Amino acid sequence: MSWNNSTQQPWGPAPEKPAGAASGLPAWARKRVLVPAALGLFVAGAVAGSAGADGSGTENAAGATPAPLATVTVTATPKAAAEPPAPKATARPADDASGTKVSVPDFVGMGLQSAQDAAQATGFYALTSHDSAGRDRMQLLDRNWKVCSQNVPAGASVPTTTELDFGAVKTEESCPAEDQKPPKAVGGRMPDLAGTSVNTARDALDSGTSLTVKDAAEGRMVLLESNWKVCTQVPAAGTKLSGQPVEITAVKFEETCP
């Protein structure tokens, strides 16, 4: 059997050469031409994926979203409120800061409120008052009281810093000849409480004294003690006080003791 390369091979016709292949090259050499192209595609895809993953690139065709921007919050500091101006001092009329003396008016017979207003108009602002009847009542509504006495005589020349004390009774009452002084336990002996108000009688005794107060007329409860006057007392005035209980009876001031 003869072999003829140019005409026929024993296993059949020779395969056709691929288009564009170099003639005479072995098969393994022809396949190496495709390797660089595949490697290039792989490297390009890796570079594109890296750019989208680290956020350094722009949004790619696959719709990758870049990392969000950090938000910085700035808080404005409020301005400090301006302090209001200090109030101006108001000078009192006829203030005796220099020691100049002023003549004291006559306040006796005036309503307590009117007397206080007149004293302030003259320059006196240190004012007080007390119960001339010795009952130790509070002058709550000054218009309901009248002046019976004043501690500084009318016409006296004194500084306006001097305190003026008005003795007063209610407008419907008569002024006593002189201010009545509350009773006091002198020398540890029982004072004379007859005719005094129950509240001043209580104040005259030691705070630890057991005191019983009864209505001398009708058996009523003695509630507002400044409106009641003492009729009787046990022990008697002048008795040595050694912690013994004290009993008194009383009626209202407009009433007569039985």
Give the total number of structural domains in the chain. 2
DSSP conformation letters of 139-185: --SGGGEEEEEESS-TT-EEETTSPEEEEEEETTSPPPSSPPPPP--
Domain-located, residue 61: no
Q: Are 108 and 162 members of one domain?
A: yes
**Both 150 and 202 in a single domain?**
no
- pLDDT above 80: residue 85: no
* pLDDT(11) > 50: no
- Residue 110: CATH number of its domain: 3.30.10.20
Q: How confident is the model at residue 58 (pLDDT cuts 50, 70, 90)?
A: very low
224 is a domain residue: yes
Range with the poorest average pLDDT among 41-50, 72-81, 222-231, 242-251:
41-50
Examine residue 59 and state whether it is found in any structural domain, yes or no: no
Alpha helices in 23-70, H assignment, sequence order? 27-31, 35-53
Question: Is residue 127 included in any domain, yes or no?
Answer: yes
Residue 87 scores a pLDDT above 70? no
Q: Is residue 149, in this structure, part of any structural domain at all?
A: yes
Residue 207 covered by a domain: yes
- Max mean pLDDT among 4-18, 62-76, 93-107, 135-149 falls in 135-149
Check whether 35 has a pLDDT greater than 90.
no
Higher pLDDT residue, 112 or 26? 112
Q: Is residue 8 part of a domain?
A: no
Q: Answer yes or no: do 213 and 164 share one domain.
A: no
Q: What is the mean pLDDT of residues 138-150?
A: 96
Cα dihedral: 178, 180, 181, 184 (round 10): 130
> CA 208 to CA 200: how far, in whole Å?
15
CA 58/CA 222 separation, integer angstroms:
100
Mean pLDDT value of segment 17-22: 49
Q: What is the mean pLDDT of the chain?
A: 78
Q: Which amino acid is at 101?
A: K
- State the greatest distance between any 2 C-alpha atoms of the chain, in Å, as a whole number: 179
Q: Is the pLDDT of residue 99 over 80?
A: no
Q: What's the pLDDT score for residue 228?
A: 97
Q: Are residues 202 and 239 in the same domain?
A: yes
The pLDDT of residue 100: 81
Nearest C-alpha neighbor of 120 from the set 107, 137, 138, 139: 107
Mean pLDDT of 232-256: 96
Q: Read off the pLDDT of residues 181-213 as tens digits, 9 standing for 90 and up.
A: 889 989 999 999 999 999 999 999 999 999 999
Which residues have C-beta within 8 Å of that of residue 147, sequence separation ≥ 6? 107, 108, 109, 110, 111, 112, 115, 166, 167, 168
Q: 248 is in which domain, residue-wise?
A: 198-252
84: tokens are 């209001």
Does residue 60 belong to any structural domain of this protein?
no
Q: Are residues 107 and 151 in the same domain?
A: yes
Nearest to 254 by CA among 158, 174, 141: 174
Residue type, 32: R
